[in-house]
Amino acid sequence: MIRREFLKKLGQLGIGAYGLSYLRFCGNTEKAVSSKLLSFDVKYPQTAWTMGVVDPNITGTFKIMSWESAFQFEKWERIINTFFKKYYPNIKVQLDWGISFANYNTKLPVLLAGGSPPDLVWMHDTRAKSFASIDLLQNLDPFIEFFKPDGWPQEYYGTQVESFQYNKSQYGFPYDYATGGLYVNLDMYKTIDEELPTENWTFDDLLRVGKKLTKGTRQFGLNLGSEANAGYQYWILRSFGGDWFNEDMTESKFNLPETIEAYQWMNDLRWKHKVAPVPELTQGRPQPFVDGVIAINFDLGAPAFGDLLEDKFNWTVAPTPRGNKGRFQFVGGSALSIPQKAAHKHIAYELTRYMLSNPENLKIIGESGRMFVSRQSMYEYGLPQGKIAKKMTSYKKVFYDLAHRDGVVVPYISKYQEWEDIYRRNTELLYFGEELNAKKVCLKLHDATNRFLESVNSKKKV
């Protein structure tokens, strides 16, 4: 790839010249495998997990890159080692894990745009469409058609399959199912005469109880997060009947009364009703609920979250409320993707299929990772176990059953990272209390979003 084309790719991802610091990772693009050269000629014995396209005695290095920590990656490494030992024993596996999420998402696009990317990468739903739109990821459709994963796609969560599609093609194989719910401090809650939240509660119910649970600046009734955290707040927006964009992603919906009402409600929690902490009170406190400052806290479902709480206080989980336009619940997740220029695409797909559709491996991932895997029938492996399960008796209903019914796909457009900067610059005014009128912010964001969408769509037509 010539320098001008490389810089163009970086610019399309909003990376710019900063990405040049990673040029040392990029090699000769002539080694890259073009999708146009994909072959599915069966020349070797097939197995349940290999296509017979690649010589089992092939030598070389297979590179994998992940943001997961040593503890989190251990389960994956066990499965990866088993796969290569059995099917490609002469391949050397090079693992690059433990990269912070922020650094990962700076480093990854530069490697993808360069000439020597990893063969398999962890992909977040906020990035998949962006990378796919400028040909940095391999379209998985030809592989899926030739060597279909067991249960695909009907046994996988539709929201997660859709999240990793671009132009109706698959660019990532989802591996988890991350859903949102409420964590409740029962020691605080028992001081008020109220039933625990249910899925039939309204946002008014939640606010009413939040007021009862608030005690000045030492205890807050609610913490639903920041207006500036776009994806995590989308379920609230939809519950009020609002949205970011129209269906074909060509026009802003920030001028809708329902959108404005949702942002005003979120802002009022903090600055009018004072039932949620202002930013300065949570600085240096990444987990205010764990610190015993919050009575009702929104977060992702994770049995491992209970490890942070230990026995500091009595707690449980509960569903998020419904709005006047219905009930919507946060769902998200991550996937495994194959770079467009990966050297070992066929092996990368075989490994992905082996890890994410093999029931034996999904059991390992679910139990060791303490998470819901993306295959629906394997949900039980992600449920809390032992002592924690007693505190989360409604965990399955809150984070699995209701999410499966009411989960909403966040519309991460192909230029999401660029648009998110626009979104954050405006909504941070609400979060930090610099502007208390959500209508002013939303109308300004409406105009900025329309200009952005017009620019993006005009470039597509050229």
| Whole-number pLDDT of residue 461 | 60
CA 414 to centroid of chain Cα atoms = 15
Q: What is the pLDDT of residue 52?
A: 98
Structure tokens at 84: 């290569």
Q: Which residues of the chain have pLDDT under 50?
A: 1-10, 15-35
The pair of three-digit structure tokens given for residue 221, joined into one six-digit string: 């009734």
pTM for this model (two decimals): 0.89
Region for residue 176 given its phi and psi (left: phi exceeds 0; alpha: psi -120 to 50; beta: otherwise): beta
Q: What is the pLDDT of residue 36?
A: 53
The pLDDT tens digits for 176-194 are 999 999 999 999 999 999 9
pLDDT value of residue 375: 95
Residues 111, 114, 119, 125, CA torsion sign: positive
Domain extents for the chain? Answer: 3-177+333-382, 178-332+387-461
CATH fit for domain 178-332+387-461, picks 1.10.10.10, 2.30.40.10, 1.10.490.10, 3.40.190.10: 3.40.190.10
Q: What is the pLDDT of residue 268?
A: 98
**Quick check: do 3-177+333-382 and 178-332+387-461 share a fold?**
yes
Asked whether the CA dihedral 91, 101, 117, 355 is positive or negative, the reply is: positive
Supply 316's token pair: 């449980």
- Residue 153: cis peptide before it, omega within 30 degrees of 0: yes
CATH architecture of 3-177+333-382: 3-Layer(aba) Sandwich (3.40)
